[in-house]
Amino acid sequence: MAVFTHVEEEELEAFLKDYDLGDIQAFKGIAEGVQNTNYLLTTTKGAYILTLYEPGIDKTELPFFLDLMDHLSKNGLACPVPIKTRNGDELGELCGRPAALVSFLNGVSVGRPTAHHCAEVGRGLAQMHNAVVDFPGKRANSLAHEGWRSLADTCLEAADEIEPGLANLITNELKYLDDNWPEGLPEGVIHADLFPDNVFFLGNDLSGLIDFYFACNDTFIYDLAICMNAWCFERDGSFNATKARRMTAAYGMERPYTEDEIHALPILARGAALRFLLTRLYDSINQVEGAMVETKNPMEYAKKLQFHQRVKNAGEYGLG
Amino acid sequence: MAVFTHVEEEELEAFLKDYDLGDIQAFKGIAEGVQNTNYLLTTTKGAYILTLYEPGIDKTELPFFLDLMDHLSKNGLACPVPIKTRNGDELGELCGRPAALVSFLNGVSVGRPTAHHCAEVGRGLAQMHNAVVDFPGKRANSLAHEGWRSLADTCLEAADEIEPGLANLITNELKYLDDNWPEGLPEGVIHADLFPDNVFFLGNDLSGLIDFYFACNDTFIYDLAICMNAWCFERDGSFNATKARRMTAAYGMERPYTEDEIHALPILARGAALRFLLTRLYDSINQVEGAMVETKNPMEYAKKLQFHQRVKNAGEYGLG
C-alpha cells in the first residue's frame, strides 16, 4: 500500500510522449496495490492508473495480465482497459520499471458487504468466466492445489506457535483434499483474488473488477469458492448463509452450474480456505522487518476452513 | 507518505451526509503528506481532498490553517478551498480523527524546476503575502529564530558523527545570527514550507500552492529565503544565480521590497538554511524505526548555509 518508486513530472512527461492522452492535469501516488506502485493520472482526455511493476513481479507475465484485461473489457466486463501507445504497445518502461497505463474506473470498494453486494459479485464473477471462454492466454496457478503441500512444509513447524493444533489441522486437511480433490471440472482463466478491495461499486451497483495480477488457469468454481470465503463470512467469523445464497444464485443465473460443480463446491471452499490460510501463515512467519504491508491473520482462514469441514453439501451454501 | 487511517466506504458515506457534494464516484488513499492521511474523493459535483489529521497535530491549530486557506482563496490565491458542511463547519470528525475536505487542485509538482518555475514561485509567494495582509489569524512560528539554539542543543553531541565539524558550524552560526538578526521587517502569515512538492504547475504556469500546515507569523522575506534555498540550488549543491534572480525579481514585481528587506536577505537565507539543517539533523538523530518517512540529508542544508556565509550582499541573489 505504498509508492515504492517516485516518478517525477519530467519523467512522466517523457513517458507520455508515446501516448495520445493530451496534457497532464494531475498526478498522485495512490495507496493501492501491495506489490506495485500506482499513480492516478488525469489528463485533458481522461483519468488513468499508471502502474510501475516493482522487482518481484515476473515481467514475462505482464502481457498475460494486460491482454486479459483488454479481452475482458472488449467482451463487456467492466474492468481497467490497457491504454496503448501510438505504436500499439501496452507495456512501456518508466524509472527502470516496466510500466502500463489503464483506464481509471469509477467506484468504491465496500468494507461491509451486504447480501446485495454479494449477489452483484456473484454475477460479475460469472460474467468474467463467460468472457474468458475464448481468451487464448494461459498462466499456471502458482498457488494451485498441487503446490499446497510443499508450501505447508515450510510453515508446519512454526504453525503451532501461532495456534496449538494448527499444524494438525493443516496436515489432516491436506490429506483429505489429496484424497478427494475433484477432477475434470470446467476451467479457464479465473480472477483468483476477488476480495472486496478488488470490486468497485457505484451506489449499490457493481461498477468494475480490478487487480487481475493473480489471474490464472484453474476451475471456475474454485474462483467462486474464493469469493464466498472472502465475502460471506461476518467479521465475528460467522457464516452468512443469505449472502452465500445470493452470491451463488446470481452466479448461476449468468453461468449455469454443472451437477459436478454443485457437488464440488464444499470441497473447493475447503481448498480455497486452506490456500489463504497457508499464504497468510507463510507471510506471518516470514514477516519483513519494516515492510509497509499489513500482515493478515491466518486464523481467520483456519476458522473458515473449520466451518466448511462441517458442511455436508452445497445446499448449505444455498445451491442445489 | 502513507495512509495511516483506513476509511471505509460506509464511514465516508456517513461523514458526507453533512455535506452537499452529490454521490461518491471514487475514493483513493493518496501518498501525500508526511503527517496526515489524505484521500482523493470524486463525487458527481467535483473532486476534493479529504484530510484526516493524525495524532501529533495540534487540533486547536486546525481552524487557523483552514481559515487561512479560505481567506487566501477568497483573495484570489490559487490554493485548496475548505468545503463547508451545510451548517457551515470546516472541520468534522471521521474515524476518530479531526477531518476536513478541501477542493482538489489540478497541477503537478516539478522535480527539476527551471528558472521560469522559480519566477512563478516568487510571484505566487508575493501574491500570498499580499493576500494575508488583512487576515486576522495568528500563529507563532514554532521553528522561529528564537528556538534554534535549544533545538541545536539536542543535536550538537551527535552532529559531528554525521560530519566532523558540523557542531562547530552550527555553534558559530547561532552566535552570528543572534548578534545580527534583523528586527522590524514587515511581517505577516508566511507559508514557511514552500518546497517544490507544495507548488503545482499546469504546463509552465503555476496552478496553486498547497500544504499550509507550517504557516505562521514571521517576516515575509524569511519566507522568500526558504523558497530560494529550496528552489535555486542544483542537485549537485551549486547555486543557480539565474533562478534566484528570476525568483526575487518576480517577487518584487508583486510586492515591492523595502530597503531593509533587501539588506536582510543574505542573513535570512543563512537563518533559513540553519532552520532546515537543524530539523533534518534532529530527524536523522531521532529516526523512528520502521517509520514510512524518508529522512532527508541535513548536509544538503549545511552546504547551503556555507554558500550563504560567503555572500556579501543581496546583489548576489540578483537583488538591489
Examine the fold and report which residue of B103, B125, B155 is the final residue of a domain before the chain moves on: B103
Using the beta-carbon criterion (under 8 Å), do B9 and A110 form an inter-chain contact? Answer: yes
- The structural domain count of chain A equals 2
- For residues A172 and A129, state if they share a domain: yes
Residues A111, B10: C-beta atoms closer than 8 Å: yes
Q: Is the pLDDT of residue A252 over 70?
A: yes
pLDDT digits (tens, 9 = 90+) for B4-15: 899 999 999 999
Same domain, A90 and A183: no
pLDDT of residue B1: 54
The per-residue pLDDT for range B186-216, each reduced to its tens digit, is: 999 999 999 999 999 999 999 999 999 999 9
Q: For residue A1, what pLDDT band results from cuts at 50, 70 and 90?
A: low
Torsion of CA A20, A26, A31, A33, to 10 degrees: 0
pLDDT at A20: 96
Nearest to B29 among A25, A27, A31 (CB): A31
Nearest CA in chain B to A109: B9
Share of chain B above pLDDT 70, in %: 98
Q: Is there a single domain that holds both residue A98 and residue A153?
A: no
Question: Are A97 and A122 within one domain?
Answer: no
pLDDT at A309: 97
pLDDT of residue B143: 94
What is the 8-class DSSP label of residue A164? T
* Same domain (yes/no): A99, A199: no
Q: How many other C-beta atoms can be found within 10 angstroms of the C-beta atom of residue B85?
A: 16
Q: What is the pLDDT of residue A293?
A: 60
| Residue B14 domain-assigned (yes or no) | yes
E strand map for A184-226 = 187-190, 199-202, 205-209, 216-219
Check whether B97 has a pLDDT greater than 80: yes
Looking up residue A154, the CATH number of its domain turns out to be: 3.90.1200.10
Nearest chain A CA: its distance from B202 CA (Å): 7
pLDDT at B292: 55
Instruction: Say whether both A255 and A301 belong to one domain.
Output: yes
pLDDT value of residue B35: 81
From A65, A82, A103, the end of a domain falls on A103
Report pLDDT for B3. Answer: 80
Touching check for A112 and chain B: CB below 8 Å? Answer: yes
Contact indicator for B54, B5 with CB cutoff of 8 Å: yes
**Are A194 and A259 contained in the same domain?**
yes
Chain A residues within 8 A of B201 when measuring between CB atoms: 9
pLDDT of B176 higher than 60: yes
B 168-187 near A (Cβ less than 8 A): none
Task: Please determine, for residue B147, whether its predicted confidence score (pLDDT) is greater than 80.
Answer: yes
Residue B175 sits in the same domain as residue B90: no
Question: What is the value of pTM for the model shown?
Answer: 0.91
CB–CB contacts below 8 A, A to B:
91
CATH number, residue A58: 3.30.200.20
Position B290 pLDDT exceeds 70? no
Query: Is residue B110 assigned to a domain?
Result: no
| A293 inside 8 A of chain B by CB | no
pLDDT band at B221 (very low <50, low <70, confident <90, very high): very high
Average pLDDT, chain B: 95
Q: What is the pLDDT of residue B41?
A: 97
Let me know if residue B204 belongs to a domain. Answer: yes
Angle at A79 between CA B14 and CA A274, to 5 degrees: 80
Residue B306 pLDDT > 70: yes
pLDDT for A35: 81
pLDDT band at B287 (very low <50, low <70, confident <90, very high): confident
Query: What percent of chain A has a predicted confidence (pLDDT) above 70?
Result: 98
User: Is B1 part of a structural domain of the chain?
Assistant: no
For the ranges A34-38, B14-18, B234-238, B250-254, the lowest mean pLDDT is seen at A34-38
| Mean pLDDT within B299-308 | 97
B69 and B163 both lie in a single domain: no
Contact A1 B3 (CB under 8 A): yes
Per-residue pLDDT, A295: 77
Q: Rounded mean pLDDT of B254-271?
A: 98
Q: Phi first, then psi: what are they for B308, rounded to 5°?
A: -65, -30
Which amino acid, residue B246?
R
Q: Are residues B87 and B155 in the same domain?
A: no
ipTM of the complex: 0.88
CB contact under 8 A, B28 and A30: yes
Residues A69 and A177 in one domain: no
- Is residue B284 located within the same domain as residue B143? yes
Per the structure, the complete domain to which residue A65 belongs is given by: 9-103
Residue type, position A256, single letter: P
Which one of B103, B135, B167 terminates a domain? B103
Note the helical H segments in chain A: 9-16, 62-74, 115-131, 148-153, 156-162, 166-180, 220-231, 241-254, 259-285, 298-309
